[in-house]
Amino acid sequence: MKVLRSIADARAFRAASAKASIGLVPTMGALHAGHASLIERAVRDDDLAVVSIFVNPIQFGPHEDFSAYPRDEPADIALCERLGAAMIFAPNVAEMYPEGDATRVQPGPIAARLEGAARPGHFSGVATVVTKLFEIVRPDVAYFGQKDFQQLRVIQTMTRDLRLGVRVVGCPIVREPDGLALSSRNAYLTPDDRRHALALSRGLFGARDDWARGERDPAKLCQRVRETASGPGVSLEYVAVSDPLTLDDLVRSAPRAVITLAAQVGKARLIDNVLLGMSIEDLP
């Protein structure tokens, strides 16, 4: 497995693999079993699996956790090698954003609400770095997790609109046995915080059970999540019942929905979601 730091070397790797299909897993490192599931999918479905490891500064706000974001490159490299990745692209900030770099990708309306409203500028940073990674690595397919559902939809929409020629595949959320969605930011949770955080998935699962029993009223589904997920140590930021394709709020019953939430639990800001009436594989 190669670990490449420069754009020139990454492009040379692609040129030398011109006849191979490449699956890219973009990450910010601090890899966990959720990332591993994406890497395993790329190894299985493509000729070569490439993992990018880059903590992208321009998707963090001025008071967010860029400096504190978990980093463990040696462990990340060992995991990628064990899973069968062919190459890691791990540039530094100056390589991706040299002096004078001022062009940014502004995603459309799908990025405006939910995380886009809570974290102004976040999705412009995400869209910009993903566009750069696509142009550097030139993958055939890129794999993203469902946990960051709005990010997945923003990237799918951007890739379609800009005709980038990459198939963007969503993969299911990986959870702990007790339901907690895996996240690099779970490292911030104390034991008490972690117990409190289980209310988030319990709320989503409760709404999923209601849906399975026939409930389609968005307001009632939202209320079910709020009632269950609100509890000690949890500060809910938002709960939304949306169309899975547009992320517009649902105001009446629909054959499909995604319920997303964000909450502060101790020092960690956590997001989670549940998809109803369709699977992640059904996204266009």
Which residues are tagged catalytic?
Answer: 35
Q: How far apart (Å, rounded) are the C-alpha atoms in residues 122 and 112?
A: 10
CA neighbor of 228 nearest in space, from 196, 189, 256: 196
Q: How many CA atoms lie within 13 A of 106 on its CB side?
A: 5
Q: How far apart (Å, rounded) are the C-alpha atoms in residues 199 and 92?
A: 37
Burial zone of 9 (CB within 10 Å; 0-12 exposed, 13-18 middle, 19+ buried)? middle
* Tokens encoding 132: 């750069």
What is the maximum span of the chain, computed from C-alpha positions, in angstroms?
56
- CA distances to 27, 94, 98, 99, 136 from 7, rounded to whole Å, are 16, 11, 12, 15, 6
Give the residue carrying structure tokens 């890219």: 24
